[in-house]
Structure 1
Amino acid sequence: MYIVSQPKGLSEAQNQVLAKEGAAVYPPGYLRFLRRFGEGTYRGWMNVQLPDPEVLKPFAEYGLWEHDEDSPITEQQIGECIAIGTTVDGDFLAVHPQTEGLLWLPRHAEQVKAISLQAREQEDEDEEAYALVLDEIYRQVYGSSQEVGVYYEPWMGTRSHLFLRLPPAQDQLSLPELAGACRAEFPPDFFIENAYACFLFYRKLGGYVRLNYAYQQEVALFYEQDAQQAFAVMKEWLMSKGCAPIS
């Protein structure tokens, strides 16, 4: 698993809170993953967060989901759930102290889904075990596996970004051509490319360059605040190829 920037370990207070938690209620490797990598976003999809017993309490009264004899929890039990993650689309991943397995509370569907995981030998010994759990959750929820590479973005609180536009012009590079030129000029430490986007990851940036093929003109530069020199070099190069910052 590629780590986008240097992980920020949990604070002593956060570790003390986790030490009091009953590990049995959480999925394999979850607590160990948090201690090693901190909170962050996995594969641009799932936000891995500290256990939150408060965020779902108001949802017990919203009537967002239908409940019948096949529902894994009652509407009242929603308020007793502990959220351990959210997707970038607003779905919740949670556990309930009296319910076995994981719970998926979708933003755009009417049924709460139970997610069962197969037991793994030595599943809590590997710091990346929870990444496999998240991949299995994705497969069960969406019916397919993610095709993009495996990476994790720790939430450092020191990330900056710059958005640029590559306007169409005669003899101008397309975004895929720009991505190829960037890879040749600055070989990335890790990259992902598909029909919709290209991500070029650089440890010296503590971030990446994202070229949005779907929008055809958008280029985004994500970097840590202490990587100003590397950022300046990359920004100058992108602008020399016709990119212009978006104010």
Structure 2
Amino acid sequence: MYIVSEPVGLSEVHRQQLEAENTGLYPQTYLQFLQQYGEGTYRGWMNVQLPDPEVLRPFAGYGLWEHDDDSPITEQQIGECTAIGTTVDGDFLAVYPGVDGLLWLPRHAEQIQVIPLPPGGQEEGSYALILDGIYRKMYGREQEESAYYEPWTGTRQHFFLRMPPRQGRVNLTELAAMCRDEFPPDLFIENPYICCLFYRELGGYIRLNLANGQEVAVFFEQAAGQVSARMKEWLLSKGCELYPED
């Protein structure tokens, strides 16, 4: 698994708090993952977060999910769940005392599901494998691109550019290939919709939105200001334009 920037592991206070709270409620692999990498976003899809017992409480009265004999929890018990992750689409991953596994509370479906945990599962990276299994089960397909994790460092910066569609200018697919030649990435992910070029010296990546054909975003760590400035200058020289500052 590629780590986008320097991980921010759990503080000693958070570590001790989780150990005190952990009476079998949280998967051990989840705790190990947090201790090693800290909070962040996995594969641009799942936000891995510290346990939050508050976020789901308001949802107990919303009537978002059906509750029949097959439902693992009642509507009232939704408010007693502890969220440990959210997807970029608004789905929740949670735990509840007495439920053997993880709870999946979908944003665009009516059935809460239980995600069984594999037996053992103490090998390195096993929580990432659990998340991959959830994605496969819920979306019916594999994530074919390389696995990566974006720790929430608190020092991440960014800027946005656009490539106006003008005759004679390169398109974003061509720009992505040129960028790979000029700045060979440590990892790159490309599909018909997006291209991401990852750089350790940047502590981030360049993201080209191939779907809309115009947007370019650069994410970098504060300490990598000189590197990001050099890449910005190069992108501007190829016809990109900066979005106005808010």
Shorter-chain TM-score tier? over 0.9
Moved over 4 A (4+): none
Do the aligned residues in 2 keep the contact of 1:28 with 1:133 (CA within 8 Å)?
Answer: no
**Partner of 2:24: helix, strand, or coil?**
helix
Match of 2:133 in 1: 136
Quickly say closer, same or farther: Cα 1:227–1:191, change in 2 above 3 A: same
Equivalent residue letter for 2:235:
L
Q: 2:163 corresponds to which residue?
A: 166
User: Does residue 70 of the first structure (1) align with residue 70 of the second (2)?
Assistant: yes
**TM alignment of 1:1-247, pairs within 5 A:** 1-22=1-22, 24-120=24-120, 123-126=121-124, 128-247=125-244
Structure 2: distance between partners of 1:23 and 1:8: 25
Encode CA deviations 1:4-48: one digit per residue, 9 max, x unaligned: 000011112111111113263223510000000000000000000
Please give the alpha-carbon distance, in whole angstroms, between the structure 2 residues aligned to 1:97 and 1:53: 12
How big is the shift at 1:60?
A: 1.1
Q: CA deviation at 1:176?
A: 0.6
Letter paired with 2:122: D
Q: CA RMSD in A?
A: 1.1
Residues 55-98 of structure 1, C-alpha deviations (whole Å, 9 max, x = no match): 11121111111100011111111111110000011110001011
Q: Per-residue displacement from partner, 1:204-231 (whole Å, max 9, x unpaired)?
A: 1100000000010110000111101100
Give a deviation string over 1:175-203, Cα, whole Å, max 9, x none.
01000000001000011000001000001
Amino acid aligned to 2:15 = N
Alpha-carbon distance in 2 for matches of 1:220, 1:182: 13
* 2: CA distance, partners of 1:12 / 1:114: 31
Structure 1 CA distance for aligned equivalents of residues 142 and 28 of structure 2:
19
Percent of pairs identical after alignment?
67
**1: distance between equivalents of 2:192 and 2:119?**
35
Q: Secondary structure at the match of 2:179?
A: helix
Is the alpha carbon distance of 1:23 and 1:163 closer, same or farther for their aligned partners in structure 2, counting shifts above 3 Å?
Answer: farther
TM-score scaled to structure 1, two decimals? 0.96
Separation in 1, partners of 2:69, 2:88? 30
Q: Secondary structure at the match of 2:170?
A: coil
Give the number of equivalent residue pairs. Answer: 244
Asked if structure 2 preserves the Cα contact closer than 8 Å seen for 1:23 and 1:31, the reply is no
Q: Spell out, residue by residue over 1:77-135, the C-alpha distance to the aligned partner (whole angstroms, 9 max, x if none).
A: 11111100000111100010111111100111111111123324xx2242x21100100
The unaligned stretches of length 5 or more in structure 2 are none
